[in-house]
A and B are shown apart, each in its own frame.
Chain A
Amino acid sequence: MLIKKDIIIVGAGPAGLAAAIEAKKRGRDGILVLERELSAGGILNQCIHDGFGLIRFNEALTGPEYARRYIDEAKALGIEIVTNVMVQDISRDKTVTAVSPDGIKTYKAEAVILAMGCRERTRGAICIPGTRPSGVFTAGVAQNLVNLKNIMVGKRIVILGSGDIGLIMARRLTLEGAKVLAVVEKLPYSSGLQRNITQCLDDFEIPLLLSHTVTKIEGHERVKGVTIARVDEKGNSIRGTSRKFECDTLILSVGLIPENEVSLNAGIVIDETTGGARVDENLQTSVPGIFACGNVLQVHDLVDYVSAEGEQAAKAAVEFIKGRGEAASDITVRAGSGIRYVLPQSISSGRDITFSMRVTNPCKNKTIIFKDGDTVLKKRTFKALNPAEMVRIDLKAGELRGVLNMEVFIDG
């Protein structure tokens, strides 16, 4: 039996919840949020540290508190959120198949909003040599075990990768009595936010070893130690710089990957750099009526922007159902020198657009330039730019008038 809905939202994390609320406020009733966990909230549920919501609420909330606000509002608005259900397939015609202990259900939606979040890169994916004992965890899994299940993952710990979850876990595990020997980062700079380096490492005297990586894992049963070495600019370990840490645990915070496997089934075009869908200024993917927001679109630094993106996707989905928002987005936006990626990847002219991007390297006093051929559309100078932080720049419709082909790059 085909169940008809206006909008199906896949995932009840911060992006999905914000999208559902916004769509409801814009007058849509047939909203269904499908969530694979037993409760809504997404990854926020395990992020018990504070610092969420500084921009949206001007308050430092914990993850669960931030999520609670949206869950409560969604409930108050009577939005249908089904948990413990796994979306198995989304087709181009927006038929969504989902499985749960109640059986397999097939829905037909006017619009679909993808908000599945991301997953962590693993030891296998980054090819760390050595044995395969127990005691190697990704930071998010360790966070889940420690914060939600009261399970301690190790006693003497090395953390590879200085992504935010890794930094947060360095502090968390230290507070729980573990000895965090070092946070090891392959790049010459941290991939986490500065505030986390200060609050999670410096305050606890945990060394951050930049330009280092783990070159070997030892131990047959449980991890017995890891070898680390300095790396050159190409990321290759430098001979003679190896040293061994005796430890029982290695935690990896080495990157997040948007979880787009069901999106691929729908034939959605994925951006090689972001790992998320290619979208236009409506956050619409290459399949009309399917939108993407949150970490399944691009990995964010702050949840506040995830919520904003969810709302933006919902607004566009509602417009799509009304039959508007069909302006052809055939102007391509290209990430030029110094910019790793820029979203949206294609735009139409004639409306205000927020661009989000990440830079490739840390730099100071540099200008991000939007250019169409030889015409400079916009310039914005930053005191400091950091790959860990997402940069958002608004362009007004007036600034985009007549644009044919856009490039965003860092001057110099």
Chain B
Amino acid sequence: MTSDIDNLFDIIIVGAGAVGCAVARELSRYNLKIAVLEKESDVAAGTSGRNSAVVHAGFNNKPGSLMAKLCVEGNEGFESICRELDVPYKKTGKLIVAFEESDFAGIDRLIENGRKNGVKGLEFVDAGVVKRLEPHVGGIGAMLSPNTAITNPFIYTVALAENAAVNGAVFYFNTEVRGISRQDRLFRVRAGDTFFRGRYIVNSAGLYSDRISSMAGEKGYKVYPCRGEYFILDKRTSQYLNMPVYPVPRPGLGGLGVHLTPTVEGNILIGPSAEYIKTKCDYSSTKKVMDRLFKEARELLPPLSMRHIIRSYTGIRSKLVGPKTGGFGDFVIEESEAVPGLINLVGIESPGLTSSVPISRMVRDIIANREDITPKSSFISVRKGIVPFRELTIEQKEELIKEYPDYGEVVCRCEGITKKEVLDAINNPLGVATLSGIKYRARPMMGRCQGGYCLTRIVDILNNEKGLPPEEITLRGKESKLFTGKVK
């Protein structure tokens, strides 16, 4: 066990989701010593990696709320952050489609709501325009939101984390916070098998932010887990959908309704459902919801077939409003009055991904209001990701193979991922060595065969190039070992 004298930080961030990593990156611009404690084996292991991957415009949120303000701000800045950090981003626009006359009132309400929030470009479009924008979607009219975009939330979080790490933030994975006490005006955090001391705690623990706050001495928050289930469809379906398509929302819903979203890679996502659940770690898909999701998706987009499904996944919203109230609460972004130095980020559900950078700036301002923080001249603002070989021209591909022959070895057939990309993912700057870590960074195993072709190859690469024996490979850390040993 290391002494916690060694683990002395200015800032201890709890939770390496999109928000925690955005805060780490923002604060790494300054002369501050930063630790990020994450209970899972990688970033974006919770809600940040399990959502619709939409950069929202902010028309759906309550005027005057933090959600509305930060979402609009986040949407405006998202593209430039993605450019800076080499993150996939596509401004697709979005349609909220009316299927019956009574939906028009809902559209009017959204346009008005969006206007109040300062969302630009919202307009009603008639069935003809809907047909032109989305030929396969029915509907009698829609609201078009031109500034809605899609991204890859996992790569986004990885990029923020990697950039923060390059600028000095230290990431501790498999390090679950178990207790927080105060000692000499410092927080003493028991986490994993060691202690950390810090002047500030930034509580970005998502679903568990109520527990962390309570550990630090500020009780009274309750986070309600609300599960959403999804399907991912084969890229072959990309021809059917150009932008996120949502039905007009019904009041009282704890989500945005089952919708269809294209991914930056060309899949379609169906989902999410919204179901309050008892435990915060139950990521099960259920037969009941699976059946319903597909049925509703096909009502929006008739050409879809069960044959197109390649995987299901679930995410869990961390909501401050319980099942009785329903709807949305608001983000809590504030320093605790009871526990100075504890900065609570609680109830960060959708649009948390979109708002993550504005949230991080608010955290910076909270700290800057208490003390002078000085920018580091050495701050590096850009980050390069893994080169997506499949997207290059033939000439560029040939150049790269000459330089690195590993680009010429296709490891993942479905997604066209090369050995070089897999190696780059294995050698990631955060030192994550799980199968999921490789999958989400470079995309092998994400295609229609779900690793049927490439899993055995990746096992070989891990063994041969990283010296990681097969029996030590895990899916996502802890007890998630892939294999049980050697044959007799």
Contacts and interface: CB of A to CB of B under 8 A. Distances in A.
Interface string B15-38: 000000000000000000000000
B419 to A, nearest CB: 9
Interface in B363-418: 394, 397-398, 401-402, 405-406, 408-410, 413-414, 416
A151 to B, nearest CB: 5
Given A130-B284, A149-B456, A151-B483, A100 B475 contact: no
Contacts of B483: 145, 151-153
Given A99-B410, A101-B405, A122-B310, A141 B455 contact: yes
Interface string A79-101: 00000101010000000010111
A100 B478 contact: no
B215 interface: no
A129 B484 contact: no
B113 interface: no
Contacts of A259: 413
Interface in B303-344: 306-307, 309-313
Contacts of A152: 483-487
Contacts of A135: 482
Contacts of B481: 134, 222
Contacts of A149: 456, 459-460, 470
A135 B479 CA distance: 11
Interface size class of A (residues with CB under 8 A): 35 or more
Contacts of A77: none
Most chain A beta carbons < 10 A, residue from B231, B307, B448: B448
B410 A144 contact: no
Interface string A31-69: 000001000000000000000000000000000000000
Interface in B139-174: none
B309 A103 contact: no
B283 interface: yes
Contacts of B471: 151
Given A36-B410, A131-B284, A134-B474, A151 B394 contact: no
B406 A101 contact: yes
Contacts of B309: 124-125, 127
Contacts of B118: none
Interface residues of B, number: 57
Nearest to A102: B408
B482 A134 contact: yes
Nearest to B306: A127
Contacts of B486: 150-152
Nearest to B283: A131
A188 interface: no
A218 B313 CA distance: 14
A358 B419 CA distance: 39
B449 A104 contact: no
A176 interface: yes
Interface string B445-488: 00011111101100110000000001100111011111111111
A338 interface: no
Contact of B398 (A36, A103, A122, A248): A103
Contacts of B488: 176-177
Contact of B287 (A131, A150, A215): A215
Given A119-B453, A123-B450, A100 B409 contact: yes
Contacts of B405: 101-102
Interface string A241-281: 00000001100000000010100000000000000000000
B285 interface: yes
A127 B452 contact: no
Contact of B451 (A84, A86, A141, A237): A141
A131 B416 CA distance: 27
A133 B480 contact: yes
A221 interface: yes
A140 B398 CA distance: 33
A401 interface: no
A99 B312 contact: no
Contacts of B475: 133-134, 221
Contact of B459 (A122, A145, A155, A248): A145
A23 B282 CA distance: 57
A148 B281 CA distance: 36
Interface string B34-73: 0000000000000000000000000000000000000000
A154 interface: yes
A379 to B, nearest CB: 35
B413 A222 contact: no
A220 interface: yes
Interface string B277-296: 00001111111001000000
B94 to A, nearest CB: 26
Contacts of B398: 103-104
Interface string B418-459: 000000000000000001000000000000111111011001
A222 B480 contact: yes
Nearest to B447: A261
A144 B452 CA distance: 10
B401 A104 contact: yes
A154 to B, nearest CB: 5
A155 B484 contact: yes
Contact of B480 (A104, A134, A146): A134
Contacts of A145: 456, 459, 470, 483
A285 interface: no
A259 B486 CA distance: 31
A145 to B, nearest CB: 6
The 3 closest A-B pairs by CB, nearest first: A124-B311, A101-B408, A101-B405
20 contacts: A99-B397, A99-B408, A101-B409, A102-B401, A102-B405, A120-B449, A120-B452, A124-B309, A124-B310, A124-B311, A125-B448, A129-B284, A129-B285, A129-B286, A130-B284, A134-B435, A151-B487, A152-B484, A176-B488, A215-B287
Given A122-B452, A176-B487, 16 more contacts: A86-B410, A88-B410, A101-B405, A101-B408, A103-B402, A129-B290, A131-B283, A134-B474, A135-B482, A141-B451, A144-B456, A149-B459, A221-B474, A221-B479, A222-B480, A222-B481
